[in-house]
Structure 1
């Protein structure tokens, strides 16, 4: 079946194409009887306006793209909700893309969003290489980094001080008497992982503990529960069983704890575990998880506010690099000092 067009609506309503256009865009200038006749024809034909064509005529889109690394992670779900609430309140809609921490998927999403001429892109990029994002900005598409600090002052970003967060987690474990920390993390190319590792190292140095003996690492390919389980199996197979484990996010921590508890390892009596993000599952886990909280919903809201400001007032807009501070939430998984 061919697509119903504006000419079909005009023919059924017995009006000109210009009148139908007025009903769609400036209904206040059309007589009530005529407007009702056009609206009835639209309903009968199931006409849907061509948003892309309208964008070309108006020179402005009301669509924002949001590309995150893992849509199954509640951390990104909360960010998306915050961004969507602000966007919806300002007459915008949000298209969500999931890169799965894949360069190829991210590249494809950015290509499609550019082709659709979205007003702007909110993104947690897989890597720091900003070539593709710079190309988007060069053609007039606004870009705001989410959960990733901008490297310069020429674009907006909303992030959390992940070095401080890693330091908070390590300092908490050190305060409970531990001298060695096992860090379960994703690829170092993900800046959040690298920054949280840097925070752990800073805490150990400040405590006078040599990194060679005080820090053990388990690197996994992805930051999800399945990778956490794989890390947990690796910890059980090691010659030296860890006593203090810090995971780069809560999903990894949940996976690690699942394996430990299934093997009869007690948390926190035998092993203490700390996560990162404070997703809903952290508090409701079999052993409520100590974690580093990030203000995820607020991050999404702030990112969308910056984006809409840049889209609607490009001349007056001033780029901002917002940096939130994380906080420690102590729960049962570290509830007993060594």
Structure 2
């Protein structure tokens, strides 16, 4: 049978109210009594019923975080940043993976609402934010992470993905490449669409440059490999001479197809740039050039915005970071 507060009080020879004060307001109890009660708590193995405390207080010590793909190292870093800031505030992060499905996203939001979390950080599964606005209107603070909405109805922390796409394309063009390919996931994903817009803006400034778009079903290594195999199946003069992948997982798949399944050399035959600069981008078979976005800082800042919302502190409701191009061997200039 579980040990309760009454058991602790009886064993320590104090009232239930004193035990409650030791747990929640120890400054109101003498040091000697706190020591005695804490000793009994350890001897009996008492574990406080935090769920009951949350019901009384109307708020937990938790923050919800929903990402579309926890298997993506980029989002793993976002989570680490969020946990760091939450820990500073004495809170914990409850993680949900939507798998880029709206129904799973809604299920997580409903669960977090039942758990009375302080608020939710969310990277949306799709462009349909109607359910998200409904939860926010119901009193649950929602901070968008790696995404923003133009109307500014929801606070957000994001990266300028249009600029990131432009940086990647201009870098490839500056090395003399003229047949560009963009390999991305569904353009219904806002980040993918924005990165493509940046590429298109850079290409539009050059009359001798062509752009081919490979729209894959997902932002995964397997989908990158599929695009790479399609490119490798072409005659050499029909292939692009540069590829920008919408994230590093796609780029890794492309590198696998080029390096292991064909005679395509990177960067001699095809130069490549990825996006996110995940940890193993520098450790791929050819070290990968990538557009870096501050993943951990996104998570940290998202929680910080939420805390300011909860405290009623005035703050910028839209924080946008600038990306940085990291150049490695995959896009090096060759003779």
TM class by shorter chain equals: over 0.9
User: Of 312, 318, 321, which residue of structure 1 is paired with 2:318?
Assistant: 321
Offset at residue 242 of structure 1 (A): 2.4
* Cα shift readout 1:188-230 (whole Å, capped 9, x = no counterpart): 11100011111111111122357xxx22122222212222222
Instruction: Tell me, yes or no, if structure 1 residue 331 matches structure 2 residue 322.
Output: no
Within 2, Cα distance between the matches of 1:258 and 1:4? 57
Q: Is the 8 A contact 1:150 1:321 kept in 2?
A: no
> What is the distance in 2 between the residues matched to 1:165 and 1:24?
50
Q: Deviations over 1:56-88 (max 9, x none)?
A: 322332211111122222211222222211111
Identify the residue that residue 223 of structure 1 maps to in structure 2: 219
Matched ranges for 1:1-338 at <5 A: 2-208=1-207, 214-238=210-234, 240-262=238-260, 263-311=262-310, 313-314=311-312, 316-337=313-334
**Distance in 1 (alpha carbons) for counterparts of 2:240 and 2:204:** 20
> Is the 1:153–1:319 contact (alpha carbons within 8 Å) kept by the matching residues of 2?
no
Residue 132 of structure 1 and its aligned partner are, at CA, apart by 2.1
Residue by residue over 1:7-49, the C-alpha shift from the partner in whole angstroms, topping out at 9 and shown as x without a partner, is 3323333332212111111122223443333223322332222
In structure 1, what is the Cα distance between the partners aligned to 2:247 and 2:58?
41
In the aligned structure 2, how far is the partner of 1:151 from the partner of 1:44? 56
Preserved CA contact (<8 Å) 1:67 1:99: yes
Distance 2:129 2:6 in 1: 44
* Distance change in 2, residues 1:111/1:176 (3 Å): same
Structure 1: how far apart are the matches of 2:252 and 2:204?
28
Q: Hey, what's the Cα distance between the residues in 1 that align with 2:46 and 2:314?
A: 38
- The separation in 1 between residues aligned to 2:329 and 2:169, in whole angstroms, is 16
- For the structure 1 residues 3 and 131, does the alpha-carbon distance in structure 2 shift closer, same or farther, using more than 3 Å as the test? farther
- Root-mean-square deviation over aligned CA pairs: 1.9
Distance in 1 (CA, whole Å) between partners of 2:320 and 2:23 is: 42
CA distance in 1 between partners of 2:49 and 2:204 (Å):
60
Count of aligned pairs between the two proteins: 332
8 Å CA contact retained: 2:121, 2:302: yes
**Aligned-partner SS, 1:54:** helix
Aligned pair in 2 of structure 1 residues 139, 9: CA closer, same or farther (>3 Å)?
Answer: farther
Unaligned runs of 5+ in 1: none
2:60–2:115: 8 Å Cα contact kept in structure 1?
no
Alpha-carbon distance in structure 2 between the residues aligned to 1:47 and 1:138: 39
State the 1:103 CA deviation.
2.1
C-alpha change, 1:209 and 1:122, in structure 2 (3 Å) is farther
